[in-house]
Amino acid sequence: MTFNPAILTDNWREILDGMALTILIWAAGTAIGLVIGLAVAVLQLFTNRWLAAPLTLYVAVMRGTPFLIQLFVIYYGGPFFGLDLTPLTAGIAGLALYGGAYFSEIFRAGFLSVPPGQIEAARMMGIGRLDIVRHVQLPQMLVIILPALANMTVLLSKETAVLSVITVNELTSVVQSIGSTTFAFAETLLFLALVYWAFLEIVTAAARRLEKRVGRFMLRTPS
Amino acid sequence: MFDVNLIIKSLPMLLQASVWTVIYSLSSVAIGFCIGTLVCAAGLSSSRLGRGFSAFYVSFFRGVPLLVQLLISYYCLPLIGVNVPSSVAAVGTLALCTGAYLAEILRGGFLGIPPGLIEAARMVGLSRAKILTRIEVPLAVRLTLPSLVNETTMMVKASSLISVVGVLELTRLAQNIATSTFQPLEIYLTAGAIYFVINGAITLVGGFAESRFRLEKAR
């Protein structure tokens, strides 16, 4: 086994592009996923059950099936519905729908964690339902669910690697194709693992710091 | 047109392949459980080396995407002279990965065991290994059952990734049928439904086990 780091330095431009795309996918998927998650949680909790039932099914399906299969359905099955998505859009949509299901469960738990007495009090004061969500529930629950949200966000960054299977040119795909054209599998794949590892460690550490900072606003909930 | 006939025709084959999915994922959870127990025991030991190794292990296998781990085992094992069938390498990788998650789960369980129990066992004269296998592991499992069941369903889902390194299981067979019939939607939806049923069954059995064996953490 030989080890030739030049294979990586020769292709640094493509590798950087791959990293940038990975981060873009991650950011977009997480952002849209958070919106989906919040919307699903609100609709599940505050509307009638005819709307809530299909959403519950959506969450169960996204959590009970492999992400890879979901990507295949969206990317290869999309044209059936006239959705001719590029691999990148399909990938981001898939990541957002997948993450959204998990995020919705977190938001749901968050909504339920706010003491009902406060909501009753707010309602007595004549505050509208949406305003209660925005000014009473969200600020308090965000502090409580932040660790779970951060954890899921970190997990989603790892899922971006799966997008390489539907030919999105993100980091895994770029480095893997350099590996197979040069046959330098050891250099490229070990490098790839190190990059993800370092990235995950940094993101996890950042999430911990954020939790600590926000923890100051943590309410001592009356028991 | 949504082709229901194709689904009916390919269902037996897909179900057959799903048996492999179940075998691969359950065996990797079983092997991963042993790895996880050892890694967790090392992490809770008084040895600095053991704790360091455990922290490194958990951080690495949880910090690198499973797909990348699978690619490494698939392409790099032959480079160092290890020639095993790709299914063995894939199950080994799944086991190493889930071992890291299981170690973290079991950690909570081990810490939830009242220390008095261990002291009592030591007083009775049980050996260290016996205390681990007869007292600590069973109690840790009962304390962490919901998370263990959840991790098992995660592994069923994760096992779809081994299709990428050419192991024949549900996802791989679905891919093969989809590319030969040019009707991916029907096939992938069916495959998804099978995964959903498998995980539903695991959750059901897990729920039953929880209601029978689960222990609440002692206060």
Q: What gap in Å lies between CA B177 and CA B82, rounded to an integer?
A: 32
* Chain B neighbors of A73, CB-CB under 8 A: 184-185, 188-189, 192
How distant, in Å, are the alpha carbons of A99, B37, B144, B214 from that of B209?
A: 29, 20, 12, 7
3-state helix, strand, coil in chain B (%, to 5): 85, 0, 15
Q: Which of B106, B134, B107, B105 is nearest to B118 (CA)?
A: B134
For residue A192, what are its two tokens?
């790839």
> What's the pLDDT at A223?
46
Average pLDDT over residues A59-78: 94
Unique residue bearing structure tokens 């990317």: A75
> What's the pLDDT at A116?
86
Whether A176 contacts chain B with CB within 8 A: yes
Whether A186 contacts chain B with CB within 8 A: yes
- Mean per-residue pLDDT of chain A: 89
> What's the pLDDT at A75?
94
Q: Which of A1, A65, A75, A177 to mutate to test the interface with B (most CBs of B within 10 A)?
A: A65
Average pLDDT over residues A147-171: 93
Q: Which of B67, B73, B169, B198 to mutate to test the interface with A (most CBs of A within 10 A)?
A: B67
Q: Do B66 and A158 count as a contact with CB atoms less than 8 A apart?
A: yes
Q: What gap in Å lies between CA A141 and CA A153, rounded to an integer?
A: 17
Say which residue, B51 or A216, is predicted with more confidence: B51
> What's the pLDDT at B218?
52
Q: Do A172 and B68 count as a contact with CB atoms less than 8 A apart?
A: yes
Q: Are A96 and A32 in contact (CB under 8 A)?
A: yes
Domain A6-215: CATH superfamily, name plus number:
MetI-like (1.10.3720.10)
Whether A206 contacts chain B with CB within 8 A: no
Confidence check: pLDDT of A10 > 50: yes
> What's the pLDDT at A137?
87
Supply the Cα-derived Rg of chain A in whole angstroms.
21
Report helix, strand or coil for B168: coil
Average pLDDT along chain B, 219 residues, taken 10 residues at a time:
84 93 96 95 91 95 95 90 90 96 92 89 89 89 92 95 93 93 91 96 92 71
> What's the pLDDT at A172?
92
Angle at B18 between CA B12 and CA B19, to 5 degrees: 100
Q: Do B71 and A80 count as a contact with CB atoms less than 8 A apart?
A: no
Q: What gap in Å lies between CA B47 and CA B203, rounded to an integer?
A: 37
Q: Do B158 and A162 count as a contact with CB atoms less than 8 A apart?
A: no
Average pLDDT over residues A107-134: 88
Q: How many CB pairs under 8 A join A and B?
A: 112
Spell out which chain B residues touch chain A, with contact meaning CB-CB distance below 8 angstroms. 2, 59-60, 62-69, 71-72, 75-76, 79-80, 153, 156-161, 163-164, 171, 174-175, 178, 184-185, 188-189, 191-192, 195-196, 199-200
Q: What gap in Å lies between CA B10 and CA B173, rounded to an integer?
A: 10
Q: What gap in Å lies between CA A128 and CA A125, rounded to an integer?
A: 9
Q: Do A162 and B178 count as a contact with CB atoms less than 8 A apart?
A: no
Q: Which among B76, B156, B192 has CB closest to A185?
A: B76
* Chain B neighbors of A183, CB-CB under 8 A: none
What region does A65 belong to: left with phi over 0, alpha with psi -120 to 50, or beta? beta
- Specify the pTM: 0.90
Whether A58 contacts chain B with CB within 8 A: no
Q: Do A66 and B160 count as a contact with CB atoms less than 8 A apart?
A: yes
Q: Enter the DSSP assignment of A183.
A: T
Highest mean pLDDT among A49-53, A121-125, A206-210, B28-32: B28-32
How distant, in Å, are the alpha carbons of A65, A91, B46 from that of B8?
A: 20, 29, 58
Give all domains of chain B, ordered by start, each with its CATH number: 4-213 (1.10.3720.10)
Q: Where do the domains of chain A lie?
A: 6-215
